[in-house]
Amino acid sequence: MSERGLLIVFSGPSGVGKGTVRQEIFSTPDHKFEYSVSMTTRPQRPGEVDGVDYFFRTREEFEELIKKGQMLEYAEYVGNYYGTPLTYVNETLDKGIDVFLEIEVQGALQVKNKVPDGVFIFLTPPDLAELQERLVGRGTDSQEVIAQRIEKAKEEISLMREYDYAVVNDFVPLAAERVKRIIETEHFRVERVIGRYDKMIKETKVVR
Ligand code: 5GP
């Protein structure tokens, strides 16, 4: 059996640009990990495709999956559920393929409890004023929702200490490059490869 893939958790405050950096990361062919499409109960935005951007579901459907234990993590965020379906993640990791989650902070902390050997990457805004500008510029949320998101961002930034890496989103291509390098380097950690070498040491017969 191949070694299990790495679970990569890419997170950070709302509006910091997680989605944009994630798209940049996946826009080039030089990555070997797969994106786990999240499920949400929030309304579909123009241009979004069901099954590509999110699996758009009703609250009833979502709650049913929670009850059945089929979510790796989920959070209620600004009035809607967001979560990671468990089966896809497990099946992909079992094939030895890394899985990339882009999720908000509460969900990331749940994953940390369940999968402590995941790679936890926190995307930070250069500063909060810029974050606010970006949310307004995106034009997808009302003033009230933006205010809620900024409040939440303040709380979330202090949770950075729970993560392994902090990446500043000062320039999208650069942030994407940093994330890719982190993932690549994680594969070289001794604790991740030692099993393979222990097996080799045990199985290799010395030829005399
Ligand atoms: P948006 O509504 O802007 O697409 O997403 C709102 C927030 O939910 C973002 O911070 C996004 O990263 C987060 N999010 C997306 N998918 C998931 C998920 O599966 N689980 C959790 N916990 N958060 C998610």
The DSSP code sequence of 63-110 is HHHHHTT-EEEEEEETTEEEEEEHHHHHHHHHTT--EEEE--HHHHHH
Asked if 62 and 39 count as a contact pair (C-beta separation under 8 A), the reply is yes
Compute the distance from residue 140 Cα to the ligand 1 centre, in Å: 14
Place of tokens 């758009």: 56
What domains appear along the chain, each with residue ranges and CATH number? 5-35+97-203 (3.40.50.300)
CA of 14, closest atom in ligand 1: 10
- 122 bridge partner residues: 11, 166
pLDDT digit string, tens, across residues 133-173: 888 998 888 899 889 888 888 888 999 999 999 999 999 99
- Six token digits for residue 52: 């590509």
Whole-model pTM?
Answer: 0.91
In the predicted structure, residue 122 carries a pLDDT above the cut 80: yes
150 Cα: distance to centroid of ligand 1 (angstroms): 15
In this prediction, residue 14 carries a pLDDT of 79
- 32 closest CA partner among 183, 136, 198: 183
Instruction: Return the structure tokens found at 39.
Output: 């499920």
